[in-house]
Copies of this chain bind each other. A is one copy, B any other.
Amino acid sequence: MQNTGDVTRRFGQRIKTLRVEAGLTQMALASRCNLDRTYLSGIERGVRNPTLEIISIIAAGLGTSLAALFDY
């Protein structure tokens, strides 16, 4: 079974990749999602373990679906 620390790290990298591709700063994405920028930064660094609801809010903020978000 994949090491769970690895899961949050890879998820964080995915969020950062999609955010940069969308041309958004952390601040811009955080405000779209009504999240604190430092919390979003923690997710991107893989040191946060977001819930399904937060993940779905971030997907919406990136203008993508959960399926596309996890397609990595």
Q: Which residues of A approach B to under 8 Å, CB–CB?
A: 1-2, 4, 7-8, 11, 49-53, 55-57, 60, 66-67, 69-72
Interface of A is mostly: helix
**Copies of the polypeptide in the assembly:** 2
Assess the A70–B66 pair: CB atoms within 8 A.
yes
**Can you show 5 pairs from A to B with CB atoms below 8 A apart?**
A1-B57, A7-B53, A52-B55, A67-B67, A67-B72
Which residue of chain B is the closest to A69 with respect to CB atoms?
Answer: B70
Q: Which residues of B contact A60 (CB under 8 A)?
A: 1-2
Q: Which residues of B contact A67 (CB under 8 A)?
A: 67, 70-72
Pairwise interchain contact A11-B49, C-beta atoms closer than 8 A: no
Q: CA–CA, A56 to B55, complex, Å?
A: 13
